[in-house]
């Protein structure tokens, strides 16, 4: 075995997790002024996430991330007006979506959204202009138009005509409106607004790092965002909010079929070394700062829906709490934000395959802020690899 191969084998079998640097675990790979993630705090440009969730709106947070500072009243008004004016999506995009989003075949909305953003690059007047001014314009257009792509995709999937954005609704409420054609209840709009704040930014997570890698080649913002969407789709990253809800539905069906309890489902999962979606985090080992905030709001929605004589939607939180307790007691692993997100969006009546696209509608702000930061002080991202392949051989020998 080569010495490089010996090192890799040592890493793979080590019981010392701290020495396992696969997946760049524990490695600091660059500087950022945008966000700080650590065991005790999640901070966007100096503001703590609980403070933002309680006191800011998503539009204010988007401005903070993209422009770099808290907006004043006039700046906020202009930013909101600009976003509203940019909301309508071009006919070209609607035409293509109407061909690809209508099943069959059933195409995942993340794939539709990736194509939608790629199409937006064809009609954006500044696609290949990487100047700071053009990039801020493009970031605003992407932020304003992604809800339209998500909404049109859902309406087409449901066999309906896409609707025009409603200029009287804020970003979160308009996103929900565009997916149904109905103005959302106040609490739903509020909960969506907070969830967008919670999802907006998270330093060098996989999708943001992907965006930065693409941007570092001096490629354009749309290309980088398409890459970010691809990275976010995976169930170990953004796709976990959908996977978490699918798992809760599986537990519910398991119990309804008389096969056992939450406890026995969990024991089976542990015995088969199954990964439980919506749990664990590369950075947070004592809990995700965002999870408790979203769980509280989601439960409020479930309680409101249930008290109106509808089905008892709080059951999802009862099952979720049991899963959470068992995970903590037996594995000492906490839920991440995707766990309560799954339940919250479910009780709001949002179709499960749209949970990760909604994550995009928010995270695009963080991605664009990072793409701009990368371009401001660029050097191509090109790390080294530790070769562990075979030794030198002769092609003709
Ligand atoms: C998020 C995630 C990818 C982080 O991966 P990571 O940093 O490589 O994981 P860690 O090194 O912290 O894992 C430590 C141990 O806990 C286990 N673990 C971590 N998350 C787990 C989960 N969700 N279910 C079961 N076991 C889990 C790992 O298998 C590992 O066990 P081992 O030491 O026996 O190999 C991982 O926790 C995961 O896959 N979670 C589920 C998907 C998810 O919710 N993603 C959204 C993240 S915001």
Nearest CA to ligand 1 atom 9: 282
333 lines ligand 1 (CB under 6 A): yes
* DSSP bridge pairs for 249: none
Model confidence, pTM: 0.95
pLDDT per position in the chain (397 positions), as tens?
Answer: 334 444 443 344 434 566 898 999 999 999 999 999 999 899 999 999 999 999 999 999 999 999 999 999 999 999 999 999 999 999 999 999 999 999 999 999 999 999 999 999 999 999 999 999 999 999 999 999 999 999 999 999 999 999 999 999 999 999 999 999 999 999 999 999 999 999 999 999 999 999 999 999 999 999 999 999 999 999 999 999 999 999 999 999 999 999 999 999 999 999 999 999 999 999 999 999 999 999 999 999 999 988 877 779 999 999 999 999 999 999 999 999 999 999 999 999 999 999 999 999 999 999 999 999 999 999 999 999 999 999 999 999 8
Instruction: Give the residue numbers marked as catalytic.
Output: 237, 281, 338
356 lines ligand 1 (CB under 6 A): no
Residue 332 alpha carbon to ligand 1 centre in Å? 11
What is the pLDDT, as a whole number, of residue 305? 86
Count Cβ atoms below 10 Å from residue 81 Cβ, excluding itself.
Answer: 11
Residue 319 alpha carbon to ligand 1 centre in Å? 21
Residues of 112-145 as b/e, b for ≥16 C-beta within 10 angstroms? bbbbbbbbbbeebebbeebeeebbbbbbbbbbbb
206 lines ligand 1 (CB under 6 A): no
Nearest CA to ligand 1 atom 41: 277
Q: Which atom of ligand 1 approaches the CA of 288 most closely? A: 48
Q: Which atom of ligand 1 approaches the CA of 244 most closely? A: 44
Which CB contacts under 8 angstroms, 24+ apart, belong to 313-322? 313/347, 315/252, 316/248, 316/252, 316/343, 316/346, 316/347, 317/343, 319/248, 319/251, 319/252, 319/262, 320/248, 320/295, 322/262, 322/263
Residue 309 alpha carbon to ligand 1 centre in Å? 39
* Residue of 280, 362, 363 with the most ligand 1 atoms within 8 Å of its CB, for mutation: 280
336 lines ligand 1 (CB under 6 A): yes
Residue 248 alpha carbon to ligand 1 centre in Å? 18
Residue 276 alpha carbon to ligand 1 centre in Å? 8
What is the pLDDT, as a whole number, of residue 307? 86
276 lines ligand 1 (CB under 6 A): yes
Residue 355 alpha carbon to ligand 1 centre in Å? 21
Q: Which atom of ligand 1 approaches the CA of 22 most closely? A: 8
236 lines ligand 1 (CB under 6 A): yes
What is the pLDDT, as a whole number, of residue 18? 65
Listed residue (321, 351, 322) closest to 241, CA to CA: 351
Helix/strand number for the chain, H first, E second = 17, 3
DSSP classification of residue 336: -
Nearest CA to ligand 1 atom 45: 236
Tell how far CA 112 is from the center of its chain.
16
CB 371 within 8 A of CB 215: yes
338 lines ligand 1 (CB under 6 A): yes
Sign of CA dihedral 102, 103, 107, 108: positive
Nearest CA to ligand 1 atom 29: 275
């Amino acid at each position: 075995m080569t010495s490089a191969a010996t090192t890799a084998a040592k890493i793979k079998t080590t019981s010392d997790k701290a020495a396992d640097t696969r997946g760049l675990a524990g490695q600091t790979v660059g500087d950022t002024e945008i966000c700080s993630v650590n065991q005790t705090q999640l901070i966007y440009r100096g503001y703590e996430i609980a403070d933002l969730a309680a006191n800011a709106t998503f539009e204010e947070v988007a401005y903070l991330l993209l422009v770099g500072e808290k907006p004043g009243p006039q700046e906020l008004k202009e930013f909101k007006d600009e976003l509203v004016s940019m909301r309508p999506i071009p006919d070209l995009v609607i035409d293509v979506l109407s061909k690809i989003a209508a099943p069959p075949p059933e195409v995942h909305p993340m794939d539709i959204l990736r194509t939608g953003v790629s199409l937006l690059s064809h009609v954006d007047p500044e696609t290949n202009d990487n100047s700071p001014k053009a990039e801020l314009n493009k970031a605003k257009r992407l932020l304003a138009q992604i809800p339209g792509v998500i909404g049109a995709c859902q309406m087409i999937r449901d066999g309906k005509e896409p609707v025009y954005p409603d200029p009287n609704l804020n970003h979160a409420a308009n996103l929900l409106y565009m997916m149904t054609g109905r103005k959302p209840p106040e609490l739903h709009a509020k909960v969506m607004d907070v969830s967008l704040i919670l999802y907006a930014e998270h330093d060098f997570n996989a999708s943001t790092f992907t965006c930065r890698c693409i941007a570092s080649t001096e490629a354009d913002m749309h290309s980088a965002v398409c890459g970010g969407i691809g990275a976010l789709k995976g169930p170990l990253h953004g796709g976990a909010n959908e996977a978490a809800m699918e798992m809760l539905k599986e537990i519910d069906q398991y119990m309804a079929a008389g096969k056992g309890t939450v406890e026995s489902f969990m024991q089976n999962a542990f015995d088969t070394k199954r990964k439980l979606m919506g749990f664990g985090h590369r950075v947070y080992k004592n809990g995700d700062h965002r999870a408790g905030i979203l769980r509280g709001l989601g439960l409020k929605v479930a309680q409101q829906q249930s008290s109106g004589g509808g089905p008892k939607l709080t059951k999802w939180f009862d099952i979720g709490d049991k899963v959470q307790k068992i995970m903590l007691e037996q594995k000492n692993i906490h839920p991440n934000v995707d766990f309560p997100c799954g339940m919250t969006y479910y009780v709001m009546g949002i179709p499960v395959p749209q949970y990760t696209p909604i994550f995009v509608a928010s995270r695009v702000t963080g991605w664009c802020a990072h793409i701009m930061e990368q371009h401001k002080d660029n050097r191509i991202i090109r790390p080294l690899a530790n070769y562990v392949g075979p030794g030198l051989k002769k092609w003709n020998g």
